[in-house]
Amino acid sequence: MNTEEEEERRQAVAWNLSSALVSEIQSLLLEATRNYNAGRIKQAYWYMKSVKLRFVQSLTDDERKDLKKKEIFFQKVSNGIIKPNTPNLKWDLCAIYENYNIAVMDLLNSYGYLIPTKKEATGL
């Protein structure tokens, strides 16, 4: 096998691995959304954490630490170690989860794991 064929093979393998990773992230995001919409905030959180674990190698140390702080806070509130701000635990967990979700989605976007939105084709 010559060098050009080897490079093409490496690129094909890299493409297949990238495609599989994006598909897995998509599936996990879908499950997180389904659970969140059904009011199962703790399950939605674990799916979002699984999303993070699929691309954690791309993150800087500061990004990892920031997400870890959010995760610890969610877990402490959900386990009753930290008392919620309101009498309704579910509302507090929703707010914490949404903050975590936004952070993960922003990182997915910044690292190119999300498909960019299409620009308006009409030019209006």
Residue type, 62: D
The reported pLDDT for the residue numbered 122 is: 62
Q: Calculate the dihedral angle through the C-alpha atoms of 100, 102, 103, 109, rounding to the nearest 10 degrees.
A: 140
Spatial separation of the C-alpha atoms in residues 90 and 95, rounded to whole Å: 9
The reported pLDDT for the residue numbered 5 is: 66
Domain ranges of the chain: 3-110
Work out the end-to-end distance of the chain between its first and last CA atoms, rounded to an integer number of angstroms: 52
- Residue 63 tokens read as 């990004």
Spatial separation of the C-alpha atoms in residues 32 and 44, rounded to whole Å: 4
Mind listing the pLDDT tens digit of every residue in the chain (124 residues)? 677 766 666 555 455 557 788 889 999 999 999 999 999 999 999 999 999 999 898 899 999 999 999 999 999 999 988 887 777 888 899 999 999 999 999 999 998 887 766 666 565 5
Closest CA to 22 of 71, 65, 58: 58
Cα-flanking dihedrals φ and ψ of residue 17, to 5°? -65, -45
What Rg do the C-alpha atoms of the chain give, in angstroms? 19
The reported pLDDT for the residue numbered 14 is: 53
The reported pLDDT for the residue numbered 18 is: 73
Query: Which phi-psi region, left, alpha or beta, contains residue 118 (left: φ > 0; alpha: ψ -120 to 50)?
Result: beta
The reported pLDDT for the residue numbered 59 is: 92
